[in-house]
Chain A
Amino acid sequence: MATLQVRDVVKRYRTVTAADHVSFSAEAGRILGILGPNGAGKTSTIRMITYITTPDEGEVLFEGTPVGPWSQRRMGYLPEERGLYKKLKVGEQLLLLAELKGLARNEARARIQYWLDRFGATDWFDKKTEELSKGMQQKVQFIATILPEPDLIILDEPFSGLDPINSELLKDIILELKASGCTLLFASHRMEQVEQLCDDICLMAQGRVVVDGPLREVKQRFGKDTVLLEFAGSPAFLDPLVATERVRIINKTQQRAEVRLLNGTLPREVLEAALAGVEDVYRFEVMTPPLAEIFKSLVGKRPEEMARTEDPQPAEATA
């Protein structure tokens, strides 16, 4: 049975329906990616899972029982909008959050030191939070999330603001937690990041689930209609294909192009055009489209476009 089940959940705010009959489930030992542009309803849904808000309709079950204060203790949540108490020291901050999750002080102390060591922050215990940089605060927040060893970990944009080295470290720890049997929820609007990490995905747009399931299955459902080319020469050979709506460019540089085949175009047509127009071809691959493309096929717009066209709204509505 799935650890977490979100069943037909509806959450309405005055002007918007933030979650419109949302259903999905997450299983232990797997990472579920909740994807969508800003305003898709990710944070609204997560708030109902963490029992910060309650759904207007539907229910959220954790291990088969409706969520409540009891389940809050077993979940770790790193919100996208996160912060720390400025006047507390790092150690006090972590102790406070751990104690609220029901952890004994001595146990919490030992674990705090372990995690500070792992993040190369051994002597931070007595450091003032005010003195930390944004990236450093982010590490403290992540430690606070996983410190009580929750069974369900929810990370909303965990990589934003981290440098590549720390991103790598975070990724390793996420995979470790997954291996130890945790259920992980990973919310992001950056699709390429999710593709690398997630086992399952749940694509959301405007409060609805657009598609969900194991990542591989979702991608295969869309077939292999994307061509990747690496070449020497000008990418101008693509222009006539684009003009006649044979392909659409996903991204292109001077040596590399990723295109989606439209209107029954065959992969070989792209290759032939390339051979005729460039000096040499190094790589030619037919593959499944990236998630952002799948999103576009389903919703009609790329995720970035939706985020941009959306009016700024209060957090209750956009989140």
Chain B
Amino acid sequence: MRNIWIILKSEFIRRVRSVWFIVITLLAPVLIIGIAVLPGLLTVMLSGTETKTVVVDDATEVLLPRLQAEAEEQFVFTDRSTVEGDPRAAVRAGQFDGLLELPAELRGGDGQPTYYAAESGGLAFGSQINRIVRDAVQTQRLEDQNVGADVQRIFRERVSVELLTLTDEGAEADGTLVYTLVGYIMGFFIYVAVLIYGSMVMMGVIEEKTSRVVEVMVSSVRPFDLLMGKVLGIGAMGLVQLATWGVLILGGAAVAGSVAAFFIDPSDFDLGADASQEALLEAASITIPSIAPSLIVWFVLFFLGGYLLYASLYAAVGAAVEQQQDAQSFSLPLMMLIIIPIVFIIPIADSPNSTLAVSLSLVPFFSPILMVVRAAVTDVAFWQLALSYVLLMVTFVGAVWVSARIYRVGILMYGKKPSFRDLIRWFQQA
């Protein structure tokens, strides 16, 4: 035990102080948030700045003023009569962004409006011009039929359904979407973390072997201690990284809440100027999902269990080869085992209590990802969580036992790249 601890410390310190670790730990959340937020931000910024000028050839002679009333800042509608010459030529020449032709029959219920542009306007633009013209035509037709203002308002209304979940505390806002997202993120994080930290263990073993430091090491410690020290040391590094990200994300969410609250005017929601931040955010229907502490505990436990299981197997792969390239044929099966659960995340999040979901989340190689997804989406019975974890731990012990045997022989083997049969022989020989 003492030796495992010494190796663990050495591995941990060596990695945590590296520039790579510090940069990734601090920048990853920024990058992830950036990737998630940037596209939306760009869309808003770009669509907000561009104004389209449109020539309208209005044969109905009544729709143009309605269009001008409907159009928000992003459109300027100009009457065709103010343009000299062929309006199509003017569009081609770049004088206008487009030409909108409204046939006379449109008012009566026939004919189709057409929009000509010199270049494609993009996804958002199509639906915008569509909506504006549709609303203008609808209003005009309703008015032609002498429909009252009340009825017109009814047509304009968009009814939405509020989704609620019944719990012991009464009805609560339904968080299916949010929790599916949380489950997906957690599952995906475990997937990436196991893959990356596992490969780090593998590369650490390969480096020990190629630098030939391993022979000195095993003359002082049992190979099993060396293996466990390395796996646990890198695991400890992973936990520190995870904890840092947790703190950064929670801190970020808190800051984001205050920032959002700052931009909300309390009077818009009939609240006093001294309204609390929570009340403000709730009124503005901005909710930061609350995650149950038990989910976080299970997430960390399954992350650790999955890491330990896969890392010990990766260590055996590292011991078998001398170069990273040679490791591929051995690490591929491991990678497959990690990827399979990713395929099942969506179906399992959809029906988290199906037989398929329950049974897959008990399989040790899949449970670190799938059980966490289920736990995030629904209330998983405690016995299922416990059974799944016990199975995972039993498999881990078995994997370590197998790996340690391959590792013991492998770390001292140089020369030809071994085959799977060689690995089995090493296992029997150790």
A binds B: yes
A308 within 8 A of B: no
Cross-chain contact A79 with B14 (CB below 8 angstroms): no
Residues of B within 8 A of A47 (CB): 412
Cross-chain contact B216 with A77 (CB below 8 angstroms): yes
A254 within 8 A of B: no
Closest to A52 in B: B218
Residues of B within 8 A of A81 (CB): 212, 215, 414
Cross-chain contact A314 with B212 (CB below 8 angstroms): no
Closest Cβ–Cβ distance, residue A315 to chain B (whole Å): 4
The residue from B211, B212, B213, B219 contacting A77, defined by CB atoms under 8 A apart? B219
Cross-chain contact A52 with B10 (CB below 8 angstroms): no
Cross-chain contact B14 with A88 (CB below 8 angstroms): yes
Count of A-B contacts with CB under 8 A? 74
The residue from B6, B217, B425 contacting A99, defined by CB atoms under 8 A apart? B6
In whole angstroms, what is the CA distance A69 to B416 when docked?
A: 30
Instruction: Report which A residues bind B (CB closer than 8 A).
Output: 14, 47, 50-53, 69, 72-73, 75, 77-79, 81-88, 92, 96-97, 99-101, 141, 144, 312-316
Cross-chain contact B415 with A72 (CB below 8 angstroms): no
Residues of B within 8 A of A88 (CB): 10, 14
Closest to B211 in A: A83
The residue from A52, A83, A85, A87 contacting B412, defined by CB atoms under 8 A apart? A52
Cross-chain contact A100 with B14 (CB below 8 angstroms): no
Cross-chain contact B414 with A69 (CB below 8 angstroms): no
- Give me 15 other A-B pairs in contact (C-beta within 8 A), A77-B219, A82-B212, A100-B217 excluded: A14-B425, A52-B219, A72-B221, A79-B219, A81-B212, A82-B215, A82-B216, A83-B212, A85-B213, A96-B6, A96-B10, A101-B220, A312-B415, A314-B414, A315-B415
Size of the chain B interface, CB-CB below 8 angstroms: 26
8 tightest A-B contacts by CB?
Answer: A314-B415, A83-B212, A83-B211, A83-B213, A77-B219, A100-B220, A315-B414, A79-B215
In whole angstroms, what is the CA distance A53 to B430 when docked?
A: 9
Residues of B within 8 A of A73 (CB): 220
Closest Cβ–Cβ distance, residue A112 to chain B (whole Å): 15
Closest Cβ–Cβ distance, residue B424 to chain A (whole Å): 13
Cross-chain contact A69 with B222 (CB below 8 angstroms): yes
- Give the one of A14, A83, A84, A144 with max B CB within 10 A: A83
Closest to A73 in B: B220
Cross-chain contact B221 with A100 (CB below 8 angstroms): yes
Interface of A is mostly: loop
B135 within 8 A of A: no
In whole angstroms, what is the CA distance A314 to B425 when docked?
A: 15
B18 within 8 A of A: yes
In whole angstroms, what is the CA distance A88 to B218 when docked?
A: 18
Cross-chain contact A315 with B413 (CB below 8 angstroms): yes
Closest Cβ–Cβ distance, residue B213 to chain A (whole Å): 4
Query: A72 and B220 in contact (CB under 8 A), knowing A14-B425, A87-B18, A314-B414?
Result: yes
In whole angstroms, what is the CA distance A316 to B415 when docked?
A: 9
In whole angstroms, what is the CA distance A82 to B217 when docked?
A: 10
In whole angstroms, what is the CA distance A75 to B218 when docked?
A: 12
Query: A92 and B10 in contact (CB under 8 A), knowing A86-B207, A314-B416?
Result: yes
Cross-chain contact A85 with B14 (CB below 8 angstroms): yes
Cross-chain contact B14 with A87 (CB below 8 angstroms): yes
Cross-chain contact A316 with B221 (CB below 8 angstroms): no
Closest Cβ–Cβ distance, residue B428 to chain A (whole Å): 11
Between-chain CB contacts (< 8 Å), 9 pairs: A50-B219, A52-B218, A72-B220, A79-B216, A81-B414, A82-B213, A83-B214, A84-B211, A100-B220
The residue from A78, A85, A314, A316 contacting B211, defined by CB atoms under 8 A apart? A85
B81 within 8 A of A: no
Residues of A within 8 A of B216 (CB): 77-79, 82-83, 97, 141, 144
In whole angstroms, what is the CA distance A87 to B425 when docked?
A: 33
In whole angstroms, what is the CA distance A88 to B7 when docked?
A: 13
Cross-chain contact A315 with B412 (CB below 8 angstroms): yes
Closest Cβ–Cβ distance, residue A95 to chain B (whole Å): 9
Cross-chain contact A84 with B213 (CB below 8 angstroms): yes
In whole angstroms, what is the CA distance A101 to B6 when docked?
A: 11
The residue from B18, B214, B220, B222 contacting A97, defined by CB atoms under 8 A apart? B220
Cross-chain contact B413 with A314 (CB below 8 angstroms): yes
Closest Cβ–Cβ distance, residue B414 to chain A (whole Å): 4
In whole angstroms, what is the CA distance A88 to B425 when docked?
A: 34
Cross-chain contact A316 with B413 (CB below 8 angstroms): yes
Residues of B within 8 A of A96 (CB): 6, 10
Closest Cβ–Cβ distance, residue B342 to chain A (whole Å): 32
Residues of A within 8 A of B222 (CB): 69
B3 within 8 A of A: yes
Residues of A within 8 A of B219 (CB): 50-52, 72, 75, 77, 79
In whole angstroms, what is the CA distance A314 to B415 when docked?
A: 5
Closest Cβ–Cβ distance, residue B146 to chain A (whole Å): 84
Residues of B within 8 A of A92 (CB): 10
Of residues 1 through 25 on chain B, the ones whose CB sits less than 8 Å from some CB of chain A are 3, 6-7, 10, 14, 18
In whole angstroms, what is the CA distance A88 to B216 when docked?
A: 15
Residues of A within 8 A of B10 (CB): 88, 92, 96
Residues of A within 8 A of B220 (CB): 72-73, 97, 100-101
Closest Cβ–Cβ distance, residue B398 to chain A (whole Å): 23
Residues of A within 8 A of B415 (CB): 312-315
Residues of A within 8 A of B416 (CB): 314
Residues of A within 8 A of B214 (CB): 83
In whole angstroms, what is the CA distance A249 to B108 when docked?
A: 121
Of residues 186 through 231 on chain B, the ones whose CB sits less than 8 Å from some CB of chain A are 207-208, 211-222
Of residues 93 through 148 on chain B, the ones whose CB sits less than 8 Å from some CB of chain A are none
Closest Cβ–Cβ distance, residue A56 to chain B (whole Å): 10
Closest Cβ–Cβ distance, residue B204 to chain A (whole Å): 10
Residues of B within 8 A of A100 (CB): 3, 6-7, 217, 220-221
Closest Cβ–Cβ distance, residue A123 to chain B (whole Å): 21
Residues of B within 8 A of A77 (CB): 215-216, 219
In whole angstroms, what is the CA distance A250 to B293 when docked?
A: 82
Closest Cβ–Cβ distance, residue B118 to chain A (whole Å): 60
Residues of B within 8 A of A141 (CB): 216
Residues of A within 8 A of B208 (CB): 85
Closest Cβ–Cβ distance, residue A57 to chain B (whole Å): 15
Of residues 371 through 406 on chain B, the ones whose CB sits less than 8 Å from some CB of chain A are none
Closest Cβ–Cβ distance, residue B218 to chain A (whole Å): 5
Closest Cβ–Cβ distance, residue B340 to chain A (whole Å): 34
Residues of B within 8 A of A97 (CB): 216, 220
Residues of A within 8 A of B7 (CB): 100
Closest to A98 in B: B220
